[in-house]
């Protein structure tokens, strides 16, 4: 009988062919993609070995505008998240990675990559020139800092950059400002003696309506020898040196305490002699008592912080960033990473030799002479 | 257990069994009850074991979980391509069928003796909905003297519903050969309030009040049961006649049109549109593989076939698909669904507010996915009716099990658990490139699978009713882009209500029938 439809339903045969083709495609594709995901690559350029293995790098960055380079080649379109990049197809061996951005200090590290494994790194880029927010005794109606009879050539004004409009009042150019409660409070907190603070407290009637400390501030000059603890990481000064200790569960230890290699020689060549010395005891075949094995890694629980051969005046964990240490050395204020693989990046925040610091929550306040300011490190804060 | 009202002597031999119309395990006793209960538990247990197992595997054996997920994502891509091919093919066939002059095609047949019995069960739907359906019925290209309309109301719907039925009869009654109003009594022992019991009551009323008195033979009456919001295309009955006259076993076949949920598509929110068109597309895909089909929603079947199994079941929710399994099992496997590839239009599930729409869609899909209750019924009777070929029983059991399992687990595994090894895996796993490549690879594979959505978007645009004057042309763009919502709708309106239904059945917390509210602007 003639069908009214020129289009017959899909025949069983047609469907079976498509089904079998799909199964074949599945059977071919699955092993190929699994091998790819594990880190195998086909390389026809090598006549002797067509199959090679690769590893990867995972680099986190604080600044979304910064660029990542591997062996001086820019890494493009590899960002997994806003502040991190996963770089695939990295061949096994030593690779230099650097992260840079306009107006930022460049972060550089040389790290080993192993087949099938991912090497992690946390980069950080502080402002290349000190960026601050001045906290003046007086402010005008717009909130801009007003300084009365203060020399414009003082170090903070010439050394640091700010987005604020600073007004310098003189006898020939008087400016009427309002009392800045934030300054009054900082002045109280920075005062080094109880008598000074009491005197200041009598002098100012402070209403903390637009500025207050969220927690007792960490005050710089009086606690330099004590231990700082954030989570399971402790920061302590022993003699002239500064050390970071892992106190938590072994399974939770941050990646930079651990290395993949297992022998003295390979660790020394991959990560540097200072790393191998923290993992092994004096004998090259004996692990230090502070070292333990985890999965296929060796982990130490103690890392020395690079103090640039200077005396440590003050130290603290970087607010909100427990993998970084904030140091006040003789020549100024620095940020140092705990990760000592290959070396520790040290970036200067502010140069100066007569400084006092305190931290309030996420804010870093500095007194340079009689000038108070907040050091800005967060790119979002700086841009705003 | 509810017994069919038909004379027991007229039932097919297998349909005379006491347990033929079993609705749930509690209606059985002894070993049968334990078997049925086990079968009720099985789908939910399989889904939960899969999902929990996936989490456990991600935690304790993340490498194996990762390999599985990659394989599963590839399977999903191929499945999407496979189904899209079927969808596209059926779309071409459906458009072709719409372009045919079916009236001239059936001229060669003698079909004047065939009566079309239209059963329209309704509850409290507004006049506009009922009126539009009857208007579309009045507009079909078919001799309306041979059309018997049964407006099947519910006593529990109250006097307003009865009044509406009378009003509709007054308006449309003269247009058709017969117009019968039936009122299904409330609270009949052994019955579940729902469409099945109402339709079965209406069918028996038609038999005793029209077919028998008029001497119409049961094999000369074709019953079409339509949801009350069903708008017919003009040639539906001509198309049905053609398939009825030409198919190999007309009295051993049910006839399934393509339900297009687009009556109110221009007024429905995006979520409702996507869900509605997805349901349509699924039925279109099934039309190209009829061996997997069961009847769904609106469908047609000979009165004789219905009579031989005691009509629709009155004690369960998914009567539209259950009637097919009743027929298939009672006919010892010698029964099938004939796909018409011809559409009927129905309402997308849309309420006055978005939140109410979401709730209604969820409830509707929970009811649809409660079709999993058929699994216990099918396998139970397959274990009893050995005259059905073993190969067919095995194939159907596998298809049904895989269908209910994948409905619930696949979207959740793909869009949620696919990332589980990354969050739950061991540190040794997190150090590997596999751990980092997994989300990228799954993302890429799902992006490829999204190509299937492009096909869906294009096809959906061609199936729209004419654009109302108050709707901007810009809405076409929205209607195309709305398909990005599919991953969400698959989880919220497919996987989760499916899991909900399976869990209820697994725990013996049986569901009742929920009537989808219908409105018309």
**Residue contact B93–A118, C-beta within 8 A:** no
**Residue contact A38–B432, C-beta within 8 A:** yes
Count of A–B CB contacts within 8 Å? 99
Contacts of B437 in chain A (CB under 8 A): 36-37, 39, 56, 88
- Contact predicate A181/A208, CB 8 Å: yes
Mutate to test the interface with A, among B433, B439, B441, B443 (most CBs of A within 10 A): B433
Judged by a CB distance cut-off of 8 A, whether residue A10 touches chain B is yes
Whether the per-residue pLDDT at B234 is higher than 90: the answer is yes
- Give, in order, the Cα–Cα distances in Å from B299 to each of A256, B239, B499: 67, 13, 27
Stretch 255-274 of chain A: residues touching chain B, C-beta under 8 Å: none
Contacts of A25 in chain B (CB under 8 A): 78
Q: Range with the lowest mean pLDDT among A237-246, A327-336, B309-318, B450-459?
A: B450-459
Judged by a CB distance cut-off of 8 A, whether residue A251 touches chain B is yes
Whether the per-residue pLDDT at A221 is higher than 50: the answer is no
- Chain B residue with the nearest C-alpha to that of A29: B74
pLDDT at A211: 47
Q: Compute the CA torsion angle A308, A314, A318, A322 (nearest 10 deg).
A: 80
Q: What is the ipTM of this complex?
A: 0.85
Shortest Cα distance from A278 to chain B (angstroms)? 22
**Residue contact B78–A5, C-beta within 8 A:** no
Whether the per-residue pLDDT at A81 is higher than 80: the answer is no
Contacts of A6 in chain B (CB under 8 A): 96
pLDDT at A76: 74
Contacts of B432 in chain A (CB under 8 A): 38-39, 116-118
Contacts of A296 in chain B (CB under 8 A): 428, 431
Shortest Cα distance from A32 to chain B (angstroms)? 10
**pLDDT band of B3, cuts 50, 70, 90:** very low
Shortest Cα distance from A120 to chain B (angstroms)? 8
Shortest Cα distance from A83 to chain B (angstroms)? 15
Span B354-362, mean pLDDT? 90
Stretch 303-342 of chain B: residues touching chain A, C-beta under 8 Å: 339, 341
**pLDDT band of B345, cuts 50, 70, 90:** very high
Task: Tell me how far apart the alpha carbons of residues A377 and A18 are, in angstroms, rounded to a whole number.
Answer: 59
- Chain B residue with the nearest C-alpha to that of A33: B70
The Cα angle at residue A359 between residues A353 and A365, in degrees rounded to 5: 50
pLDDT at B383: 96
Computed from CA positions of residues B475, B125, B6, B214, in that sequence, does the dihedral angle turn out positive or negative?
negative
Whether the per-residue pLDDT at B49 is higher than 80: the answer is yes
pLDDT at A222: 37
Judged by a CB distance cut-off of 8 A, whether residue B74 touches chain A is yes
Computed from CA positions of residues B58, B60, B62, B64, in that sequence, does the dihedral angle turn out positive or negative?
negative
Judged by a CB distance cut-off of 8 A, whether residue A33 touches chain B is yes
SS3 A359: strand
**Residue contact A37–B96, C-beta within 8 A:** no
Contacts of A33 in chain B (CB under 8 A): 70, 74, 441
Judged by a CB distance cut-off of 8 A, whether residue A39 touches chain B is yes
Judged by a CB distance cut-off of 8 A, whether residue B292 touches chain A is no
Whether the per-residue pLDDT at B314 is higher than 50: the answer is yes
- Chain A residue with the nearest C-alpha to that of B439: A80
pLDDT at B18: 93
Contacts of B95 in chain A (CB under 8 A): none
Stretch 187-246 of chain B: residues touching chain A, C-beta under 8 Å: 242, 246
Question: Model confidence over B266-291: pLDDT tens digits?
Answer: 988 888 899 999 999 999 999 999 99
Contacts of A31 in chain B (CB under 8 A): none
Shortest Cα distance from A364 to chain B (angstroms)? 34
- Chain B residue with the nearest C-alpha to that of A25: B78
Question: Model confidence over B128-175: pLDDT tens digits?
Answer: 999 999 999 999 999 999 999 999 999 999 999 999 999 999 999 999
Domains within chain A, CATH numbers bracketed: 51-122 (2.60.40), 128-247+305-384 (no CATH), 249-300 (no CATH)
Contacts of B452 in chain A (CB under 8 A): none
Question: Model confidence over A299-317: pLDDT tens digits?
Answer: 999 999 998 888 898 899 9
SS3 B265: coil
SS3 B482: helix
Q: Does residue A365 or residue A200 have the better pLDDT?
A: A365
Q: How many CB atoms lie within 10 A of CB B174?
A: 9
Q: Range with the lowest mean pLDDT among A43-52, A118-127, B41-50?
A: A43-52
Whether the per-residue pLDDT at A208 is higher than 60: the answer is no
The Cα angle at residue A184 between residues A181 and A190, in degrees rounded to 5: 140
Judged by a CB distance cut-off of 8 A, whether residue A24 touches chain B is no
Contacts of B292 in chain A (CB under 8 A): none
Shortest Cα distance from A49 to chain B (angstroms)? 21
Whether the per-residue pLDDT at B353 is higher than 50: the answer is yes
Judged by a CB distance cut-off of 8 A, whether residue B70 touches chain A is yes
Residue environment code for A22-53, b if the CB has 16+ CB neighbours within 10 A, otherwise e? beeeeeebbeebbebbbbbeeeeeeeeeeebb
CATH code that applies to domain B106-367? 3.90.550.10
Contacts of B436 in chain A (CB under 8 A): 56, 58, 80, 86, 88, 118
Contacts of B434 in chain A (CB under 8 A): 37-39, 116
Question: Model confidence over A252-302: pLDDT tens digits?
Answer: 899 999 998 778 888 888 998 888 888 887 666 677 777 888 878 889 999
pLDDT at B62: 93
Helical spans, DSSP H, in B349-482: 354-369, 373-384, 390-415, 420-424, 427-430, 433-449, 451-462, 474-481
Given the structure tokens 């306009």, which residue do they identify? Answer: A102
Judged by a CB distance cut-off of 8 A, whether residue A295 touches chain B is yes
Task: Tell me how far apart the alpha carbons of residues A301 and B125 are, in angstroms, rounded to a whole number.
Answer: 72
What is the reported pTM? 0.82
pLDDT at B487: 86
CB neighbour class for A62 (10 Å; exposed up to 12, middle 13-18, buried from 19)? buried
- Chain A residue with the nearest C-alpha to that of B99: A5
**Residue contact B433–A15, C-beta within 8 A:** no
**Mean pLDDT, all residues of chain B:** 92
Task: Tell me how far apart the alpha carbons of residues A317 and A314 are, in angstroms, rounded to a whole number.
Answer: 11
- Contact predicate B278/B453, CB 8 Å: no
Range among A184-193, B299-308, B316-325 with highest mean pLDDT value? B299-308
Question: Model confidence over A115-170: pLDDT tens digits?
Answer: 999 999 999 999 988 899 999 998 988 888 988 888 888 888 888 888 888 888 87
Task: Tell me how far apart the alpha carbons of residues A84 and A72 are, in angstroms, rounded to a whole number.
Answer: 18
**Residue contact B440–A18, C-beta within 8 A:** no
- Chain A residue with the nearest C-alpha to that of B97: A5
């Amino acid at each position: 009988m003639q069908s009214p439809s020129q289009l017959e339903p899909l025949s069983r045969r047609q469907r079976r062919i498509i089904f079998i083709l799909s199964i074949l495609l599945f059977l071919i594709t699955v092993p190929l993609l699994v091998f790819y995901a594990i880190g195998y690559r086909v390389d026809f350029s090598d006549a002797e070995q067509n199959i090679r293995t690769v590893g990867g790098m995972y680099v986190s960055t604080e600044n979304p505008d910064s660029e990542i380079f591997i062996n001086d080649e820019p890494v493009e379109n590899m960002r997994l998240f806003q502040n991190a990049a996963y770089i695939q197809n990295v061949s096994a061996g030593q690779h230099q990675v650097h992260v840079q951005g306009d107006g930022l200090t460049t972060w550089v590290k040389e790290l080993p990559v192993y087949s099938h494994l991912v090497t992690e790194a946390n980069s950080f880029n502080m402002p290349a020139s000190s960026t601050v927010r001045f906290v003046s005794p007086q402010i005008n109606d717009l909130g801009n800092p007003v300084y009365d009879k203060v020399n414009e050539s003082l170090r903070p004004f010439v050394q640091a950059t700010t987005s604020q409009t600073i007004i310098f009042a003189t006898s020939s150019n008087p400016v009427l400002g309002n009392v800045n409660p934030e300054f009054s409070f900082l002045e109280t907190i920075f005062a080094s003696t109880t008598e000074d603070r009491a005197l200041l407290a009598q002098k100012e009637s402070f209403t903390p309506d637009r500025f207050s400390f969220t927690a007792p501030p960490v005050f710089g000059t009086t606690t330099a020898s004590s231990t700082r603890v954030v989570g399971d990481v402790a920061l302590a000064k022993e003699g002239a040196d500064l050390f970071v200790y892992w106190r938590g569960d072994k399974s939770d230890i941050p990646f930079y305490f651990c290395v993949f290699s297992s022998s003295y020689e390979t660790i020394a060549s991959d990560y540097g002699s200072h790393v191998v010395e923290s993992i092994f005891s004096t004998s090259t075949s004996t692990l230090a008592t502070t070292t333990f094995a985890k999965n296929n890694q060796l982990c130490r629980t103690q890392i020395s912080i690079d103090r640039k051969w200077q005396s440590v005046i003050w130290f603290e964990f970087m607010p909100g960033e427990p993998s970084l240490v904030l140091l006040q050395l003789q020549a100024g204020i620095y940020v140092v990473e705990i990760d000592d693989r290959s070396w520790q990046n040290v970036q200067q925040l502010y140069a100066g030799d007569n400084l006092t610091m305190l931290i309030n929550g996420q804010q870093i306040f500095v007194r340079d002479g009689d000038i108070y300011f907040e050091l800005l490190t967060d790119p979002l804060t700086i841009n705003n | 257990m509810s017994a069919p009202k038909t004379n027991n002597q007229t039932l097919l031999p297998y349909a005379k069994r006491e347990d033929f119309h079993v609705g749930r395990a509690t209606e059985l006793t002894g070993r049968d009850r334990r078997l049925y209960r086990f079968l009720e538990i099985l789908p939910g247990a399989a889904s939960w074991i899969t999902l929990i197992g996936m989490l456990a595997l991600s935690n304790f054996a993340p490498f194996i979980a990762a390999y599985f997920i990659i394989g599963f994502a590839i399977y999903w891509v191929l499945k999407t391509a496979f189904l899209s091919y079927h969808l596209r093919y059926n779309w071409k066939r459906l458009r072709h069928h719409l372009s045919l002059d079916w009236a001239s095609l059936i001229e060669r047949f003698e079909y004047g003796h065939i009566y079309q019995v239209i059963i329209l069960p309704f509850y409290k739907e507004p006049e506009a909905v009922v009126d539009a359906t009857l208007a579309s019925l009045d507009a079909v290209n078919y001799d309306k003297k041979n059309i018997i309309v049964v407006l099947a109301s519910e006593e529990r719907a109250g006097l307003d519903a009865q009044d509406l039925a009378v009003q509709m009869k007054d308006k449309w009654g003269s247009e058709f050969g017969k117009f019968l109003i039936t009122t299904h009594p409330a609270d009949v022992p052994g019955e579940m309030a729902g469409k099945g019991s109402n339709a079965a009551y209406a069918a028996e009323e038609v038999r005793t009040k029209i077919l028998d008195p008029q001497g119409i033979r049961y094999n000369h009456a074709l019953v079409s049961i339509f949801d009350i919001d069903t708008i017919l295309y003009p040639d539906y009955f001509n198309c049905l006649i053609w398939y009825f006259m030409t198919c190999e076993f007309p009295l051993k076949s049910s006839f399934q049109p393509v339900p297009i949920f687009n009556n109110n598509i221009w007024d429905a929110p995006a979520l409702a549109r996507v869900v509605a068109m997805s349901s349509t597309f699924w039925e279109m895909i099934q039309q190209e593989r009829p061996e997997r089909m069961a009847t769904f929603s609106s469908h047609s079947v000979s009165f004789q076939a219905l009579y031989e199994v005691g009509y629709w079941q009155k004690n369960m929710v998914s009567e539209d698909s259950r009637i097919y399994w009743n027929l298939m099992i009672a006919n010892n496997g010698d029964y099938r669904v004939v796909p018409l590839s011809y559409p009927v239009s129905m309402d997308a599930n849309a309420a006055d507010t978005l939140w109410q729409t979401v709730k209604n869609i969820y409830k509707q899909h929970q009811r649809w996915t409660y079709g999993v209750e058929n699994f216990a019924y099918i396998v139970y009777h397959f274990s009893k009716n050995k005259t059905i070929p073993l190969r067919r029983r095995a194939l159907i059991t596998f298809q049904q099990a895989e269908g209910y399992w994948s409905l619930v687990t696949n979207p959740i595994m793909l869009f949620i658990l696919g990332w589980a090894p990354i969050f739950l895996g061991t540190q040794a796993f997190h150090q590997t490139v596999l751990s980092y490549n997994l989300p990228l690879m799954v993302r890429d594979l799902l992006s490829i699978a999204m190509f299937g959505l492009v096909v869906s978007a294009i096809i959906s645009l061609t199936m729209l009713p004419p654009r109302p004057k108050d709707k901007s042309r810009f809405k076409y763009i929205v209607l195309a882009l709305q398909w990005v919502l599919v991953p969400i709708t698959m989880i919220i309106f497919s996987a989760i209500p499916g899991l909900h239904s399976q869990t209820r059945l697994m725990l013996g917390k049986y569901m009742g029938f929920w009537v989808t509210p219908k409105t018309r602007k």
